Structure formats: structure tokens, C-alpha cells
Amino acid sequence: MKRTLVFSILVVMAGFFTYTCPMNEAVAQEPVIKIGINLELSGKQAPYGVPVARALRYEAERKNADGGLRALNGAKIEIVELDNATNAATATANAERLGSDPSILVTVGPCTSALSNAVEPTVGKWKMPNVCVMTTADKIFERGNEYIVSVTVMASKLGSSYAKFMVFMHEKFGIPLERITLAWPDDDYGKDLSSGFREELASRGFAKNIVADIPFDWQAKDLTPLVLRIKGAKPDFHLQVARTADGKLYHDACFTQRFFPYQVGGTSGFNHPTLWDLLGDKIAAATIGGPKLFFMELGAYDIPNPVRDAWVSKFHPQYPKIAVEQNLFFGATAANFLMSALEEAESPSREAINQALHGLRLKENDPRDFTGAYETPGLAFQSDGKARSWPTIAEWRKIQGDWQKVSIWHPTRGALNTPKEFGK
């Protein structure tokens, strides 16, 4: 009787496994492409990492819902998400963890130059194709690492564009350039940008007109001493390089010290829409909304892009707390480029994905470029991984009661709109 009971149990179990194993086997064999992200999801630079991560997740979800990666047998995308907490040591440890995992085929991040600079050797060590997002420091891409690309405009181009804009405003509207000042964060981003600015001014004959050239602590808690130094130099035109956090400190100090010169600055410390909430409308209107202030925008977002605008119309209602601004658009552009490279690679290997990334070609006004910053048609990236893109200079305008950004000038396209101070 005991033998009969045991036999019956075994028969039932055998039937169960006969039924379930094929399904489990099918699930186990379903192809998956793992993407690692190593982003600033907390800490001082979280305003960069959070929207980029959200755009990546959103695009992965859309791709999976649409049947996955068709060129890779419908493989689904799985994101392995690590927060580097705006800390170089953590970012490097994350890169080591992701690189040493053979199941992860490509990584995204960090966003900012200081952390990307720390991570770059580890990415090269593991031959991990890596997409940097808001990383602008030129030198990171000049070390011969074949496994990195950046989707944003390089700092040297930002710097030269600031200088070209000042000269444009001088020649077009007569703004004096006898006394030029600049202040920049003392990191690789600030160094490369300020170098590009100086070189361009020198090529235009204005090198001797720089009367103050001031690096500042990018982790500073108060920028009042910096503003007092700049104000004391009595600039005709000032360049202020600022991210979101130090942008608030800078504008607060400018308001307190009543310092409103002609100036151009950026990027996120001048153009991020949340600055209006951070500063309060009174201070924001007097500083970033002032008639003499212009800022760098990594794209001409007031120029229509039907694909981007349709994307925003679906994304924003789902994630209303994520501001619709350049960091989100660069995150979406990075995701678009990465999805295209995964399809074009046609092989789930790091080498194939890396080759596809570096060989990615854009058509005229390519809809995958949500930033509108890229030179098209042609390759998205130079051979060293730098993006083939340029920024735009814009200003804040109050239109029908709302503050909006209006593109003013582009380094290759020239004047786009007349600045509000010189308009009718």
C-alpha cells in the first residue's frame, strides 16, 4: 500500500514536470539584452541622471512592448540600474561591477564629465561599449579609448560658441567687448570649455580684452564672493559656466548684489525650467529672465520636431514630475541611438554593439535626434567618440504670461531671432 502511494505521487509529479518544463525552458531561452546604467540618480548632479534614466527606461519599455529587438530574434531589453550618487569612487566601482559581468553588453553613463573621467579607464579595461550622455570634457575622448561615445556637445565647442556669440553681439548690436570676464567650475568640463573660449577669442583678436578669468569650486555652497569679484572687474560681457546647483547659487548672489551685466552662460544653471521654482519668480525674472542675459541650449527646442513632440505628448502625462528640458532630450536621444545600434549590430556581443555605435549614421534632420544639435547627414560620432553636434544660444521671454525659451543664434546657422532687447 505504501509502495502504491509513493508510485502514485511520483506519477503525479512526473505529469506536472512534463507539463511545466517546456514552458520554463521557453522562458529561460527567451533572448535578453542587458544594458547597465551608471548614472547620477542622487547627489548634487541628480538633475542630470534622473531624467536620463527615466528616458532610457521609457524607451526600453516601449521597445519591449513593440516586440523587442527584431534583428536579435525579438530579444527583450533588461536594464541593470546602478546609482553612482555623484561620487567618482562609486561610479568607478559600478563600472567595474558592470564590466565584469559578461551578461551586460553595453552601459550608459555617467552623465557628467568628472565622473566619466574617473570611469573611462575601467570601461576600456573591460572593452565595454559605453554611452556618455552629458559628458563634455574633450580630453576623456582623446586617450585612444575605442569604447566610449558621448551624445552631447563637447566643451571645446561650447567654449568657442560662447566666444563667437559675444563677437556676433558686438558686431551686430554694438555691445562693447573692451572688458570680458569669465568664471568656470574647476573641473575638466570647466577647463576644456574655458580653453575653447580663450582660443576662439584669441583667433578673433580679443585675447587681451579678458580682464578676469576665474575658476571656482564646483562644489561651492556660496558664490557671493565670486560674484563680487566679477562685479569688481566691471565687465562689458561676462561668461558664467554653471550647472543647475551652482546656477541657483550664482543667480541668488547676482540678485542680492544687483549685478545684471550683459552675460551668457549655461548650461543647466541658466536654462533648466526648474530654476524658476528654485529661485522664485521675482529673482528668476530679474536674473535669467533679464534682457541682457543669454544662455547656452544644447539644441533648438523651439524648432518643431514632430517625432520629438509626439514623444513628449505621451511621456510627459505619465511622468509629469520629470521636466521637459535638454537633459531629458539627451537621455531620449541616447536611448534612440542605442536602440538603433542594437538593431544594427545583429549580434549580442560587445564588439558588434560597439562597432554599430561608432558607425551610426544620421539622415538629414534625423528624427532620432531629439536635440536638433547634430550635423546631418553623416556619422553621429567622430572617430574618437565625440558627438558631431553644436549648441544654440537662447533667451527667456515672457510670452502670453508664460516664460519660454527662444533660440537666438547658432554657430553654423547664424541669427535665428532678434534678441528681445533689440526687437520692436
Neighbours of 217 (CB within 10 A): 13
pLDDT score of 10: 40
For 3-12, 41-50, 228-237, 324-333, which range has the lowest pLDDT when averaged over its residues? 3-12
Residue 56 scores a pLDDT above 90 = yes
Whether 120 and 160 map to the same domain: the answer is no
How large is the average pLDDT for residues 373-380?
92
- 187 domain residue, yes or no: yes
Whether 197 and 271 map to the same domain: the answer is yes
Type of residue found at 60:
A
Whether 175 and 144 map to the same domain: the answer is no
Neighbours of 124 (CB within 10 A): 17
pLDDT score of 31: 87
pLDDT score of 410: 92
Report residue 16's pLDDT band, with 50, 70 and 90 as the boundaries.
very low
Residue 140 scores a pLDDT above 70 = yes
- 356 domain residue, yes or no: yes
- 7 domain residue, yes or no: no
Per the structure, the count of domains in the chain is: 2
Whether 144 and 125 map to the same domain: the answer is yes
Neighbours of 125 (CB within 10 A): 14
Q: What is the pLDDT of residues 113-129, one digit of tens each?
A: 889 999 999 999 999 99
- 23 domain residue, yes or no: no
Instruction: Give how far the C-alpha of residue 259 lies from the chain's centroid of Cα atoms, to the nearest Å.
Output: 30
Residue 111 scores a pLDDT above 70 = yes
Write down the mean pLDDT value for the chain: 90
Positive or negative: CA dihedral 238, 242, 246, 247: positive
Contact between 331 and 56 under an 8 Å Cβ cutoff? The reply is: yes
Listed residue (318, 299, 351) closest to 161, CA to CA: 299
- 225 domain residue, yes or no: yes
* pTM for the full predicted model: 0.81
Whether 71 and 109 map to the same domain: the answer is yes
Whether 160 and 147 map to the same domain: the answer is no
Whether 232 and 310 map to the same domain: the answer is no
Residue 5 scores a pLDDT above 60 = no
pLDDT score of 29: 62
Neighbours of 373 (CB within 10 A): 25
Between CA 115 and CA 135 the distance in angstroms is 9
Whether 241 and 101 map to the same domain: the answer is no
Q: What is the pLDDT of residues 173-194, one digit of tens each?
A: 999 999 999 999 998 888 889 9
Contact between 113 and 137 under an 8 Å Cβ cutoff? The reply is: yes
For the chain, give the percent of residues with pLDDT over 70: 93
pLDDT score of 178: 97
Domain that holds residue 205: 156-297+392-422
Whether 336 and 215 map to the same domain: the answer is no
Whether 277 and 371 map to the same domain: the answer is no
- 130 domain residue, yes or no: yes
Positive or negative: CA dihedral 372, 415, 168, 412: positive
Residue 12 scores a pLDDT above 90 = no
- 21 domain residue, yes or no: no
- 2 domain residue, yes or no: no
Whether 286 and 309 map to the same domain: the answer is no
Whether 288 and 168 map to the same domain: the answer is yes
Listed residue (235, 233, 242, 228) closest to 261, CA to CA: 235
For position 245, which CATH number holds? 3.40.50.2300
Between CA 422 and CA 411 the distance in angstroms is 20
Residue 101 scores a pLDDT above 60 = yes
pLDDT score of 305: 85
User: 3-state SS of the chain?
Assistant: CHHHHHHHHHHHHHHHHHHHHHHHHHHHHCCEEEEEEEECCCCCCHHHHHHHHHHHHHHHHHHHHCCCEHHHCCEEEEEEEEECCCCHHHHHHHHHHHHCCCCEEEEECCCCHHHHHHHHHHHHHCCCCEEECCCCCHHHHCCCCCCEEECCCCHHHHHHHHHHHHHHHHHHHCCCCCCEEEEEECCHHHHHHHHHHHHHHHHCCCHHHEEEEEEECCCCCCCHHHHHHHHHCCCCEEEEECCHHHHHHHHHHHHHCCCCCCEEEECHHHHCCCHHHHHCHHHHHHCCCCCCEEEEECCCCCCCCHHHHHHHHHHHHHCCCCCCCHHHHHHHHHHHHHHHHHHHHCCCCHHHHHHHHHCCEECCCCCCCCCCCECCCEECECCCCCECECCEEEEEEEECCEEEEEEEEECCCEECCCCHHHCC
pLDDT score of 155: 86
Residue 168 scores a pLDDT above 50 = yes
